[in-house]
């Protein structure tokens, strides 16, 4: 059909498409793909070799228990929050665990800086610049945190209620 998921880049199953509209029932608790965790481990190993002051850090390959699992959220333009794409979220969490001041990354073709001290995401683009609030929450707080979806894609799993 030629449609790809904006998060994982895999082909969208035709059963998810009705009259050219993608259903928004994304699993907001989805995990990071195992292949990316391996790539991320190699990235941080190369960073550790360059920075002799830091103790080498192994990226955990086993899922964390729900009591220790965290999600990273960014503020939506309207109401609520979005969870970061699980791949980006994993990178952000690793940088946070290493006590880095910030994480620089590309998200949807835009250069972003995640600032852990000010809890903000800053976009560095020629035409668009902007800052959004971010936050780290426990997995157990996901359902009470007004999470609209993942990576800017709304989900019907946790619809926002009117305050």
The dihedral over CA atoms of 130, 82, 9, 61, expressed in degrees to the nearest 10, equals 110
Domain boundaries, the chain: 14-32+70-154
Beta bridge partners of 149: 82, 154
Is residue 19 over pLDDT 90? no
Return the CATH fold of 14-32+70-154. Answer: 3.30.720
Separation CA 120–CA 113 (nearest Å): 8
Assign 157 a pLDDT band (cuts: 50, 70, 90).
low
Taking alpha carbons only, the member of 62, 69, 56 closest to residue 136 is 69
Q: What distances in angstroms separate CA 28 from CA 81, 139, 158, one per listed residue?
A: 12, 11, 9
Assign 78 a pLDDT band (cuts: 50, 70, 90).
confident
């Amino acid at each position: 059909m030629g449609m790809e998921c904006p998060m994982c880049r895999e082909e969208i199953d035709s059963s998810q498409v009705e009259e050219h509209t993608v259903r928004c029932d994304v699993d907001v608790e989805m995990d990071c793909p195992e292949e990316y965790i391996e790539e991320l481990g190699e990235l941080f190993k190369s960073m550790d070799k360059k920075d002799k002051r830091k103790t080498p850090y192994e990226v955990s390959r086993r899922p964390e228990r729900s009591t220790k699992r965290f999600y990273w959220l960014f503020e939506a333009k309207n109401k609520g929050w979005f969870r970061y794409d699980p791949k980006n979220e994993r990178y952000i969490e690793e940088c946070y665990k290493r006590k880095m001041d910030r994480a620089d990354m590309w998200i949807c073709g835009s250069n972003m800086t995640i600032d852990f001290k000010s809890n903000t995401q800053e976009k560095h683009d020629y035409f668009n610049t902007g800052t959004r609030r971010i936050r780290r929450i426990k997995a157990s707080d996901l359902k009470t945190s007004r999470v609209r979806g993942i990576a800017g894609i709304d989900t019907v799993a946790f619809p926002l209620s009117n305050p």
